[in-house]
Amino acid sequence: MTTLNATETLLHKGSGLQVVVGLGQSGLSVANYLTKQGYRVAVTDNQSQPALADQLPAAVDIRQFGAIDAELLQQAARIIISPGISLDTDAVAAARRANIPVVSDIQLFCEACTVPIVAITGSNAKSTVTTLVGQMAADAGVNVGVGGNIGVPALTLLANPDMQLAVLELSSFQLETVSNLGAQVATVLNMSPDHLDRHGDMLGYHQAKHRIFQGAKSVVINREDALTRPLVADNLPRLSTGIHAPDKGHYGLITDPERQIYLARGTERLLSADKLPIKGRHNLLNAQAALALGELAGLPLDSMLNTLQQFTGLEHRCQYVATAAGIDYFNDSKGTNIGSTMAAIEGLGAVYAPKDGKLLLILGGQGKGQQFGELTPFINQYVSQVLFIGEDAKQIEQHLRAAKLSDEVALHQCQTLENAFATIQQVTISSLSQVQAVLLSPACASFDQFSGYAARGEHFSQLVSQLEKGI
């Protein structure tokens, strides 16, 4: 292995050196891809012993760990930055000031990909919609690659020489370094405050998300959210989705005289909502988004509707866990921002409201600078008990109290999920609680107490199982 000191005299700007910043899964995929392309590659990471270091290809002969190496970045012809590394990191910011290109793995993918791309972003539901569109394509007989922010690095999809369509979930972190994505169809599903600690404000977050529309050949727009509408040419093909009856050729919902809800395209009723395994109004919007994206990608409608009737959703996304002592438990641990939690409260709350039922909501973790008072109208309407856990629990309670929370909503500081379950058993004994469902939708990151949202959701499900068994 060659160290930087031994190569300083050999390297100079313009030498073609590609520097990968951050050695997570995406960074590893970049290193593998670039070395196979014949580039000289260096890798630098803040961790002194990155977990994936021993998986780097042998051709990566410059490895600077323990800090992001500013000198190394200054000698790069191009920097490929991992999504978890901020552009404001001192070493990266200095390289940008020196006009060294900084891109993401998604930019490399776009430059190499020769098949149409379905590009999906949004504050919430992007994993669900990405998975659903991918399944629709596969069920229609299309050789499809699904990746990006969903856990499969986009560059690994290029290993499939028979791929006919790429479906990418893209985060704001990935998009902020992408130019001219050129997707066959692109969408921002929804917009709510998230990652403001990284982007600074909603304008910065909005600008990052909307880079997905650069070079797009068609777009899908959420009529319920003006922030999803792109500034693109009026003649660009587009479809819209929404919760009301749609205009001709667009997607929406139609309610018949018996109050049965249907997915609709124009005036045509496509599918009764009760035939969808995924529940809640937010999932009706997700289903529409998938249909619209699939249509613009050339997928047949009948096949897509068949897929919808088989799709049961993703783990940790408003996932039904079990019923214990007459109360339904839902795991929405993937709800890591207030927009996602709003959707979960409204989507499930509307199911129980006709039966005079209320939700018990578990909130908390790392708040990421969000304003939790925005949840108050949804809590006032659908929730009777709020249990707080995690690092920012007290701050979240303060935000809710300052935002005209109803006196009928009881608040409990629990600190941990174990304590929350003890409280659940106490408060649900009383019929006055009206609780018919418990919803874990924390609106926060999980890293204060867990390794990630999946671990938090699994722990919740284990506690529900113990409750079922009377342990």
CA dihedral 107, 112, 116, 121 (to 10 degrees): -20
Tell me the two tokens of residue 149: 């922010």
Measure CA 256 to chain center: 33
List, in order, residues 6 or more apart from 205 with CB less than 8 Å away. 172, 191, 193, 194, 195, 196, 199
User: What residues are labeled active site?
Assistant: 126, 149, 195
In Å, what is the CA distance from 81 to each residue of 147, 175, 341, 471? 18, 11, 30, 47
Q: Give the chain's count of helices (H) and strands (E).
A: 16, 20
Beta strands in 142-290 (DSSP E): 144-148, 165-169, 185-188, 219-222, 238-241, 251-255, 261-265, 268-272
d(CA 370, CA 339): 10
Of 196, 209, 109, whose CA–CA distance to 160 is shortest?
109
Distance CA 14, CA 339 (A): 44
> Which residues lie below 8 Å from residue 319, measured CB to CB, with a gap of 6+?
313, 330, 331, 332, 457
Residues 206 and 9: their CA atoms lie apart, in Å, by: 43
- Neighbouring C-alpha atoms within 13 Å toward the C-beta of 380: 12
Q: Where are the alpha helices (DSSP H) in 309-363?
A: 338-352
Query: What is the crossing angle of helices 417-427 and 453-469, to 10°?
Result: 40
For the record, the structure tokens of 387 come out as 């249990």
DSSP annotation of 151 = S
Q: Cα separation of 50 and 43, whole Å?
A: 11
For residue 439, the tally of other CB atoms under 10 A from its CB is 25
